[in-house]
Homo-oligomer: A and B are copies of this chain.
Amino acid sequence: MAPELSAQRVTLISLGVADLERSGAFYRSLGWQPAQELPEVTFYRLKGLMLGLIGKDALAADQGRPGATLGSGAIALAQNYGSRAEVDAAFAAAVAAGAAALKQPQKADWGGYSGCYADPDGHVWEVAHNPFWPLDADGYLAESDDR
């Protein structure tokens, strides 16, 4: 076993979708701009990684389990914002774009403020303000933060 060989990083998040057109329209209505659109996958550039929308069947095949039915998983992607007002605005924008509201933004017991919605395929997004996680100018977690 070579513990150092598996890097502590993520460079691509692939979301399986039932209808690439529908999902692309959802993220477009949130203001997302694709970096590359291929017949079976749409890539969005984040900072140092990509988020890809890919047909569920293609994703299952890519994962070495062709024909598998992929459901809604035990995972959530989160966006942190600089204030509660920004969380409210992001949540409202997503619901206006057709997201399913799972949890209205509300005070969290960890000292922040958080809401959750699901995209057209049930992928869960959290929108949160965490006063303990300072953000840099790009909205990513500041490196100086120690948590």
Which residues in A have some Cβ–Cβ distance to B below 8 Å?
A: 1-17, 29-33, 35-36, 43-51, 56, 59-60, 62-65, 70-81, 86, 89-90, 92-94, 96-97, 102-103, 108, 114, 116, 121, 123-124, 126-128, 133, 135-136, 138-141, 143, 146-147
Q: Are B126 and A14 in contact, with the CB atoms below 8 A?
A: yes
Chain A binding surface SS class: mixed
Show 6 A/B contacts (Cβ-Cβ < 8 Å), sorted by A.
A8-B30, A8-B31, A8-B46, A9-B138, A10-B77, A71-B73
Which residue from chain B places its CB closest to the CB of A76 in the assembled complex? B14
- A89 cross-chain contacts in B, Cβ below 8 A: 2, 5
- A121 cross-chain contacts in B, Cβ below 8 A: 74
Q: How many copies are assembled?
A: 2
- A137, chain B: closest CB distance, angstroms: 11
Find A79's partner among B10, B97, B123 (CB 8 Å cutoff): B10
Bound-state CA distance A65–B116 (Å) is: 10
Which residue from chain B places its CB closest to the CB of A98 in the assembled complex? B1
Which residue from chain B places its CB closest to the CB of A32 in the assembled complex? B8
Q: Are A139 and B9 in contact, with the CB atoms below 8 A?
A: yes
Which residue from chain B places its CB closest to the CB of A114 in the assembled complex? B62
Q: Are A49 and B140 in contact, with the CB atoms below 8 A?
A: yes
Q: Are A30 and B3 in contact, with the CB atoms below 8 A?
A: yes
Find A12's partner among B3, B72, B80, B94 (CB 8 Å cutoff): B80
